Amino acid sequence: MRPYAAQIIYSIKCAGEFTGQYEEQWRLVFAENEPNAVAQAKEIGGQEASIFVD
């Protein structure tokens, strides 16, 4: 397994409308190769996406 740095970017919407704002996070993922690291980063991004109601 090799370490890969993954940049995960979430877009921010308010009342269903895009606000032009983003949340950027960096993660260290361990995978056998780059395609697996990308797949793992996409899975993390999907699992950690959230909806906040104000």
pLDDT by 10s per residue, the chain, length 54: 999 999 999 888 887 788 889 889 999 999 999 999 999 999 999 998 876 655
Which residues are within 8 A (CB) of 44 and not within 5 positions of it... i.e. 6 or more apart? 6, 8, 27, 29
SS3 24: strand
Res 53: pLDDT: 59
Res 44: pLDDT: 93
Res 52: pLDDT: 62
Q: Please, are residues 4 and 28 in contact by the beta-carbon 8 Å criterion?
A: yes
Q: What is the pTM of this model?
A: 0.76
Res 33: pLDDT: 98
Buried b / exposed e along 34-46 (16+ C-beta atoms within 10 A): eeebeebbeeebe
